[in-house]
Amino acid sequence: MLKLLKSGFYTSVQDRGRFGYRDKGVPVSGAMDNYALETANRLLENDENAAVLEITMTGPTFEFEENTFIVLTGASMSVTLNNQPITNYKVHKIVSGDILSYGRLENGFRSYLAIKDGFKTEKVLGSRSHTKSITDSTYLKDRSEISYEPCDAFVPKISEIKINAYFDETVLEVAKGPEFGMLENRQLEKVFGGDFSVAKENNRMAYQLKETIDGHDKSMLTSATLPGTVQLTPVGKLIILMKDGQTTGGYPRILQLTDDAISILAQKKLGDIVSFKLIAP
Amino acid sequence: MKSYPLSIRPYGIRAVLVEWPNEVDEEILEDILQFYQYLKYHCLKKTGWEMIPAYNSLTLVQNNNLVDFKTFSTKLKKWYGEKSGTVPEQRYLWRLPVCYDLDFGIDLEDVSKKLRLSVPEIIEQHTAHVYRVYGIGFLPGFMYLGGLSESLEIPRKATPRLKVAKGAVGLAGKQTGIYPQESPGGWNIIGNCPVSIFNAKEEGPCLVSVGDQIQFYSISRAEYDLHKIEGEVGIYKVEKLEIDA
């Protein structure tokens, strides 16, 4: 078991997500920063869908009850293992009784804790990802216990990688969304001509942007939405749906973020700057 | 069945949106569902595809790979031409109980005033119609129902409530529906349905599919309490009738 001695701001279990139920209104969920999830599982030679912990903004303190190996990816949060600083993107050996403690956020917004063979929480509709109204809980509370398979010996093929820092990246690559064609020149200039900042309404469901563009009065019938869809509201607000976002919506879908852009945005917090760059179809 | 001019557009790099004429129309919905059926069983056998029908659109998402739009849209056009004769999946008419008691129908009196209909008249009109499920979204198991009587059209509330009860039955514009879970919401609440439409613990988590029909019938408070208990212990059977295609 992994014991949560102190919960952080928001820590949840996530895997790649819950697929196959969007036509019933079930959000996809899964790690907000899929790049961090993939990298962590690859270093541990895990199944690509192995469940990790997604740790948002401020970190918790954990105690490991069995031997294992872990990797931290995503945001850096001054993590210590038994009071010794440890680094991200490196396989660390864990011995029963070890204490992992998260400190100050240094960069990014979401950090990932992956464990050898993944966390073994209950699967609901094919996924372990915490999701409101799908799983019994939506995040981990103090004194939660999460099970994992003990592992005494593991010789990783690659024990550490250097990653290109993507936390400083502010450009979000986007493709045209289905209603891109409704944008007028003034709106296009605003969308691609300047910076936007992340509003306080940002969470696993959606990121709103502070700056607005010209609004519209186009009404459309409800239709599917995806993680990474940029919706334009009648008053000109841009809402970027994220992993727990609703599966249908009635606002025009003007842009669609690439998978990498979703990972970049997932590491942004209130006030951070982003801009959009259209990629060739 | 007639053939419609389709609009096929890329939706990012792993999804494609197919749109029918911009109308809420039963025949269009049938055509979408027939195409859905043909694609599901004859064309998109590779794993990773998900299809989301809603009103006048069908969105196809590939979860594992990127989609080459040019090739794929050509194939879609060809498949659309081949689909006629596809037998649609069995549809059901679900008869759902609703308790229109004022304890649940917290906006009933207000709706009654605004629509100039008595409460019994509202109940009569709400239960008289058969509604079609045009889409499921917004929340897990939330049905977009079409076919509301014009006399029951009422704008959504100016200020949404922070909490609407699970099972709440509401009216908003041309729509009526059930909140499948407690959530914020701006619909006018006229009753409560004791049946859980969505249960994540079931393998088929949602009772209803797009294309099904819904009819409400009025129950007393005592029947509501009974159905609620029956539902909790798992012995409540929802009434459903097969619809002939």
Residue A281, pLDDT above cutoff 70: no
Domain-embedded: residue A164:
no
Chain B residue at shortest CA distance from A255: B12
Rounded to whole angstroms, the Cα distance separating A100 from A67 reads 13
Q: Which of B29, B51, B82 is the last residue of a domain?
A: B82
DSSP β-ladder status, B143-146 and B131-136: antiparallel
User: Do B237 and B167 lie in a common domain?
Assistant: yes
Best mutation site among A131, A182, A223 for testing chain B: the one with the most B CBs within 10 Å?
A: A223
Q: Do B12 and A21 touch (CB under 8 A)?
A: no
Residue A154, pLDDT above cutoff 80: yes
The confidence band for A199, taking pLDDT boundaries of 50, 70 and 90, is: very high
User: Do B76 and B111 lie in a common domain?
Assistant: no
**Residue B231 class from Cβ within 10 Å (0-12 exposed, 13-18 middle, 19+ buried)?**
middle
Instruction: State the pLDDT at residue B65.
Output: 87
Instruction: State the pLDDT at residue B1.
Output: 63
Q: Which of B31, B47, B82 is the last residue of a domain?
A: B82
Q: Do A24 and B141 touch (CB under 8 A)?
A: yes
Instruction: Say whether residue A182 is in contact with chain B using an 8 A CB cutoff.
Output: no
User: Do B227 and B148 lie in a common domain?
Assistant: yes
Residues of B whose CB is below 8 A from A220: 22
Rounded to whole angstroms, the Cα distance separating B107 from B190 reads 6
Instruction: Say whether residue B221 is in contact with chain A using an 8 A CB cutoff.
Output: no
Instruction: Say whether residue A257 is in contact with chain B using an 8 A CB cutoff.
Output: yes
User: Do B40 and B156 lie in a common domain?
Assistant: no
User: Do A130 and A199 lie in a common domain?
Assistant: no
Instruction: Say whether residue A247 is in contact with chain B using an 8 A CB cutoff.
Output: yes
Domain-embedded: residue B193:
yes
pLDDT > 90 in chain A, percent: 92
Instruction: Say whether residue B173 is in contact with chain A using an 8 A CB cutoff.
Output: no
Rounded to whole angstroms, the Cα distance separating B132 from A243 reads 29
- H helix intervals, B39-102: 69-82
**Which residues, 6+ apart, have CB-to-CB distance to B116 below 8 Å?**
none
Domain-embedded: residue A153:
no
Looking at the structure of chain B, the number of domains it has is: 2
Domain-embedded: residue A59:
yes
Mean pLDDT of A134-149: 93
User: Do A138 and A42 lie in a common domain?
Assistant: yes
Instruction: State the pLDDT at residue B160.
Output: 84
User: Do A93 and A34 lie in a common domain?
Assistant: yes
Domain-embedded: residue B2:
no
Residue type present at position A58: T
User: Do B156 and B58 lie in a common domain?
Assistant: no
State the DSSP H helix or E strand holding residue A34, giving kind and residue range, or none if neither. helix A34-43
Chain A residue at shortest CA distance from B18: A178
**pLDDT < 70 positions in chain B:** 1, 245
Mean pLDDT of A9-32: 96
Rounded to whole angstroms, the Cα distance separating A154 from A175 reads 41
Q: Do A175 and B10 touch (CB under 8 A)?
A: yes
User: Do B211 and B104 lie in a common domain?
Assistant: yes
Domain-embedded: residue A152:
no
User: Do A83 and A208 lie in a common domain?
Assistant: no
Chain A residue at shortest CA distance from B20: A221
User: Do A89 and A203 lie in a common domain?
Assistant: no
Domain-embedded: residue A125:
yes
Rounded to whole angstroms, the Cα distance separating B183 from B190 reads 16
Domain-embedded: residue B130:
yes
User: Do A141 and A27 lie in a common domain?
Assistant: yes
Best mutation site among B9, B11, B40, B145 for testing chain A: the one with the most A CBs within 10 Å?
A: B11
User: How near does any CA of chain B get to the CA of A204, in Å?
Assistant: 15
Instruction: State the pLDDT at residue A163.
Output: 84
User: Do A10 and A126 lie in a common domain?
Assistant: yes
Domain of residue B174, residue span: 91-243
Residues of A whose CB is below 8 A from B200: 26, 124-125, 133-135
pLDDT in tens, B149-171: 999 999 988 888 989 999 999 99
User: Do B236 and B167 lie in a common domain?
Assistant: yes
| Residue A69: φ, ψ to 5° | -130, 145
Instruction: Say whether residue B102 is in contact with chain A using an 8 A CB cutoff.
Output: no
Instruction: State the pLDDT at residue B245.
Output: 59
Instruction: State the pLDDT at residue A245.
Output: 96
Residues of A whose CB is below 8 A from B24: 221
User: Do A140 and A13 lie in a common domain?
Assistant: yes
Residues of A whose CB is below 8 A from B69: 281
User: CATH number, domain at B222?
Assistant: 2.40.100.10
| Residue A110: φ, ψ to 5° | -125, 125
User: Do A213 and A126 lie in a common domain?
Assistant: no
Name the token pair of A132: 């409101």
Q: Do A224 and B59 touch (CB under 8 A)?
A: yes
User: Do B129 and B205 lie in a common domain?
Assistant: yes
User: Do B161 and B40 lie in a common domain?
Assistant: no
User: Do B12 and B122 lie in a common domain?
Assistant: no
Domain-embedded: residue A155:
no
Q: Which of B40, B62, B82 is the last residue of a domain?
A: B82
Q: Do A25 and B201 touch (CB under 8 A)?
A: no
Mean pLDDT of A17-29: 96
User: Do B112 and B231 lie in a common domain?
Assistant: yes
User: Do A137 and A260 lie in a common domain?
Assistant: no
Instruction: State the pLDDT at residue B85.
Output: 83
Domain of residue A119, residue span: 2-146
Q: Judge if pTM exceeds 0.90.
A: yes
Of B22, B139, B140, the CB nearest to A221: B22
User: CATH number, domain at A269?
Assistant: 2.40.100.10
Domain-embedded: residue A116:
yes
Instruction: Say whether residue A228 is in contact with chain B using an 8 A CB cutoff.
Output: yes
The confidence band for A187, taking pLDDT boundaries of 50, 70 and 90, is: very high
Instruction: State the pLDDT at residue B47.
Output: 81
User: CATH number, domain at B74?
Assistant: 3.30.1360.40
Residues of B whose CB is below 8 A from A25: 136-142, 180, 198, 206
User: Do B112 and B219 lie in a common domain?
Assistant: yes
Domain-embedded: residue B46:
yes
Angle, in degrees to the nearest 10, between helices B108-115 and B119-128: 90
User: Do A17 and A129 lie in a common domain?
Assistant: yes
User: CATH number, domain at A108?
Assistant: 2.60.120
Rounded to whole angstroms, the Cα distance separating A40 from A75 reads 12
Domain-embedded: residue B1:
no
Domain-embedded: residue B158:
yes
Best mutation site among B14, B59, B64, B178 for testing chain A: the one with the most A CBs within 10 Å?
A: B59
Domain-embedded: residue A239:
yes
Looking at the structure of chain A, the number of domains it has is: 2
User: Do A209 and A78 lie in a common domain?
Assistant: no
Residue A76, pLDDT above cutoff 70: yes
Chain A residue at shortest CA distance from B8: A178
Q: Do B50 and A134 touch (CB under 8 A)?
A: no
